[in-house]
Amino acid sequence: MSNADVEAGGPAGREATTGIKPPPGRYNPSGNGPNAVAPAPPPFYYYDQAGGAGAAPPDVGGAAGGDSPTWPCSWWLRKYGALDWYGVVHGNQAWRLETSTWLHAGLIHLAANMISLLIIGIRLEQQFGFWKVGLVYLVSGFGGSVLSVLFISRNGITVGASGALFGLLGAMLSELITNWTIYSNRCAAMVNLIIIAAINLALGILPRVDNFAHIGGFATGFLLGFVLLIQPQFGWSEQVSSAKSKYNAFQIILLTLSVALLIAGFAAGLVSVFKGVDGNAHCSWCHYLTCVPTSSWKCDK
């Protein structure tokens, strides 16, 4: 095994860092890719197999990742838990579906995500508490990883907490819907949330951003919000003499449907993941959800 293979994230590098030897004909590393782009807000970063950073902060300019906390290379991230299709599907490393949400593409990526977490998470935690919001965050990150691994390049890895952050955005939207009766200015609040979510998801069409993690995290958080963030309807009193029930029929229906969709979605997603299903093979246009080619950049399918 040569040092060059390890540094490049090639077959020898994969075997050294993950203990998995890729079979012939399945592993096809490629160092070619579009120029790095630094979208905002902080994305779920995608790294190409050859070790080059797939999405770089502006001051990096797309340079290949190095072995440093500021800009770690792909083989280092893979070793410590990045979302790696081959490791999850053939290496019995399902833990990567969660650990990848705790890894970041350097200090700038980490700082940007933590600032976003403070902005999004503080109000939710103040209103609903640490445990409920923490559960939404963790499960949404996992849900984003499940969808991501179905569409991720077989020669790539992804890292970042953006799937979990999008889950909090989705939960904020569903919380507003299910607790509609207790809010004032709710229409304006809903429009603002929808615009923010749409802009953030639209930025995911830039190259080297794993928008499937964003979409999966948002959808998971949206459903979890109906389950975990439900509040008593307006006018309900905890006293026994209260004529109103604690939750109205609308809230109960949304909760029931959300639980069913979460169970069905995770069951179908995980079965598909561990069967090695390639989502792109069953959806010819889905790759446009994560990257739309233009005259300024190309996209890897």
Does the active-site annotation cover 214?
yes
Q: Hey, which residues does 66 pair with through a beta bridge?
A: 72
Cα 28 to Cα 61: distance, rounded to the nearest angstrom: 26
Radius of gyration of the chain from Cα atoms?
21
Does the active-site annotation cover 148?
no
Strands (E), the chain: 45-48, 83-84, 156-159
**Tokens (6 digits) for 27:** 């592993």
Measuring CA to CA, which residue among 104, 6, 117 is closest to residue 55?
Answer: 104
Q: Confirm if 225 and 178 have CB atoms less than 8 A apart.
A: yes
What is the DSSP secondary structure assignment for residue 181, as one 8-state letter? G
Active-site residue, selected from the candidate residues 162, 174, 258, 287: 162
DSSP state letters, 125-146: HHHH-HHHHHHHHHHHHHHHHH
Q: Confirm if 220 and 262 have CB atoms less than 8 A apart.
A: yes
Judge residue 40's burial from the number of C-beta atoms within 10 Å of its C-beta, 0-12 exposed, 13-18 middle, 19 or more buried: exposed
Cα 134 to Cα 139: distance, rounded to the nearest angstrom: 9
**Tokens (6 digits) for 222:** 């949206």
Active-site residue, selected from the candidate residues 104, 109, 214, 287: 214
**Tokens (6 digits) for 182:** 């207790």
- Residues taking part in catalysis: 162, 214
